[in-house]
Amino acid sequence: MSMKSRGGRFLSLFALMAGVVAAGCSGNDSNPTGPILPFAPFAQQDLRVGTGADAATGRRVTVNYTGWFYDPTRPENKGQQFDTSVGRQPFTFTIGLGQVIRGWDQGVPGMKVGGQRRLTVPPELGYGANGSGGVIPPNATLVFDIDLIDVQ
C-alpha cells in the first residue's frame, strides 16, 4: 500500500471524525432526552446500627423514610426533598417481592430494628428512564434515609 493511499484514508477518517464532533457540538440546545442529572452509584451507609430483629429477604418490614433528589453540591448529597413518611403513617412492605424499588430491596436487608441507613439509589435501581408520577424525573439518582421500625 502506498504512502499516498494511507494518507488519503487518514484524511478521510479525520474528516469523518471532525464532522461527528462538529455535529455533537452544534448550537442546537434542544435535548430530547431531558436534562442531564447527576449520577452516583448504589451506596448504603449505616447512620445508626439497630439492636433489634434483622431485616431479611422475605420478611415484612415497617419503616419511616425521607427521600431527596441526589445533588452532589449539597450537604450529604441531599437535594430537594420529594417525599417522607415522617409525621404520617410508616410504610410497610415485604423485602424481595418487588413492592418497592430495587434499591430498597437491596439496601434494607441487613438492617436491624432501631437502625437508620442512608441509601444512594441510581436510576437503574430506582425509577429508571420513566421516572414516577410526575414527581421523580427520568434517570434520577435518589437519596433515602430509612429508619427500621419493625420486622415481622
Please list the active-site residues.
Answer: 65, 82-83, 101, 127, 144
Give the long-range contacts of residues 35-41, CB within 8 A, separation 24 or more: 35/137, 37/69, 37/70, 37/137, 37/139, 37/140, 37/141, 38/70, 38/71, 38/72, 38/141, 39/70, 39/122, 39/123, 39/141, 40/70, 40/72, 40/77, 40/120, 40/122, 40/141, 41/120, 41/122
